[in-house]
Structure 1
Amino acid sequence: MKLNDLKLLREQAYVNGQWIDANDGTRFSVTNPADGETIAQVSSLGQAETARAIAAAQA
């Protein structure tokens, strides 16, 4: 897979109007299932980030 405009690729989560990383900085690979190629490394959000997203959604 090729993305022509790399500015469109975001490796963070969009929560409450902001792009955020995992609090502990962990990431995981997203792979293309057709060929196993790594497409991106994205933030691995945990319990705290999930709670933040839920609170924002319920506000």
Structure 2
Amino acid sequence: MEPSNVDRAFEALVKRAGVRPIGCTNLRHSCATLLFTMDVDASTVQRILRHSSITVTTGTSPT
């Protein structure tokens, strides 16, 4: 599936549901937040979101 097609389909669903417009990326951020709130470990969240690096998942940069 082309990303632009996914975005268009999601936009149509949001409009049909009558909710505030958000993008797919917002869903990924919300998913991460909910998983961390549920005390899911960072490596599991990384695998779920398919991040290449744990620093992307945790929002920290290596020093």
Is TM > 0.5 for Structure 1 vs Structure 2?
Answer: no
- Pick the structure with more helix per residue: 2
- Pick the structure with more strand per residue: 1
Query: Which has the higher Rg, Structure 1 or Structure 2?
Result: 2
